A and B are shown apart, each in its own frame.
Chain A
Amino acid sequence: MKNNRGLAVFLGNLGKDNPVFVQILGICSTLAVTNSVRNTFVMCLGLIFTTALSGTTVSLLRFYIPQRIRMIVTVLIIAVYVIIVDIVLKAWYHEIARELGPYVGLIITNCIVMGRAEAFALQNNPLLSMLDGFSSGMGYTWVLLIIAVIREFFGAGTVWNIKIFDAWTNWTIMIMAPGAFFVLALFIWIVKSFFIREKL
């Protein structure tokens, strides 16, 4: 029974309850970091770490957090993990940290993290909350990686900084802001029309 529930949560977050293209959460970072696959990957690792552990912590403390100040407590818990990610990145991957700029700190206000803590972790046990946080992060990750591959490939002719074609005319628009909006819109459209038609 419990295993089934966990599996349902896990698959739901990857597919039909996906945070990015179904709930339209965490869009800011989705668009901002996806112009290079490597940065996206690092950002996603940070987010998975944050959602999984903040979900667990919130769930562990759920009987001790007073109802009226729960938002601020949740934000503080999330902030602790985000700061850990920030410090680790700055210490070991300085170049990536500089390219990601303020977006690492902005994981705090990423609606996915807050939303999962608020909607799921406050009602469920720690193990399930961790699974939920982890799978939300994974759901976010696979969407971002696809968008990042498309944008980097067309925008720079590379994937993970490796050249695919020698002679490639860069579609500069793809690595700039409008390209991000278009790719995301097309992605949501494709997913919507193929996989979740019954929800429309």
Chain B
Amino acid sequence: MNYILILISAVLVNNFVMARFLGLCPFIGVSTKYSSSLGMGLAVIFVMTMSGSATWFLDRFILIPLNLGFLKTIVFILVIATLVQLVEMIIKKSAPLLYDALGIYLPLISTNCAVLGVTLINIDAGYSLLENIVHSAGGGIGFTLALIILSTIRERLEYAPIPECFKGAPIAFISAGLVSLAFLGFSGLPVK
């Protein structure tokens, strides 16, 4: 039951994009087309879950015993960059079709602050390994959900008569604000 609560919390209540403002750069950058945001979202779910569990082991068995907690940011960013490279190579060899679909989005993920954010939040919250994996995957799913919602809105905005000065970033932020307002409704759910 606890795991379900963590999942719901990460996807809806504390949505990484809408409530915690993480991963906004790709969020605004990629969300102009539905197909590309789906690809980006899947890649993020994958990398988030992988790096969430990898950093848990690193923190528990290397950083804490050696009392090197203050190095966690630097270690985690390296782990994420390495993982992204590794994932890219594995997918390229084993699933060329998937690689073609995700291709350009994979390298972008290493600079996605949502991925680093999820690992840091995991450690702060003191999750167990399984809770950690559930929370990381939930974070990725929440990111994907928000990305897909915004991209479909923006596809329609392409043809809408928007005042000149609002085109581009401002209207994207206004739409994001409205979506975020909708997500605020989930905060009534009895999960933390």
Contact, CB under 8 Å: B73 / A86? yes
Beta-carbon contact of A192 and B21 below 8 Å:
no
Contact B124 A101 (CB under 8 A): yes
Asked if A106 and B28 make an inter-chain contact with CB atoms under 8 angstroms apart, the answer reads no
Instruction: Flag if B174 contacts A185 (CB, 8 Å).
Output: yes
B21: chain A residues within 8 A (beta carbon): 27-29, 31-32, 177, 180
Interface size class of A (residues with CB under 8 A): 35 or more
| Interface members, chain B 20-41 (any A CB < 8 Å) | 20-25, 28-29
Which one of B87-95, B134-142, B152-160, B175-183 is at the interface? B175-183
Cα A109 to Cα B73 in complex, Å, equals: 10
* Complex contact B170–A185 (CB within 8 A): yes
How many cross-chain pairs have Cβ atoms below 8 Å apart between A and B? 114
Q: Decide: B24 and A31 in contact? CB cutoff 8 A.
A: yes
- Report the Cα distance A71→B23, complex, angstroms: 19
Given contacts A28-B24, A102-B120, A177-B18, contact A109 B169 (CB under 8 A): no
Q: Is the interface of B mostly helix, strand, loop or mixed?
A: helix
CB distance from B152 to the nearest CB of A (A): 17
Residues of B near A114 (CB, < 8 A) are 111
**B178 & A28 in contact (Cβ 8 Å cutoff):** no
A interface list, Cβ under 8 A from B = 21, 24-29, 31-32, 71-72, 75-76, 79-80, 82-83, 86-87, 101-102, 105-106, 108-111, 114, 173, 176-182, 184-186, 188-189, 192-193, 200
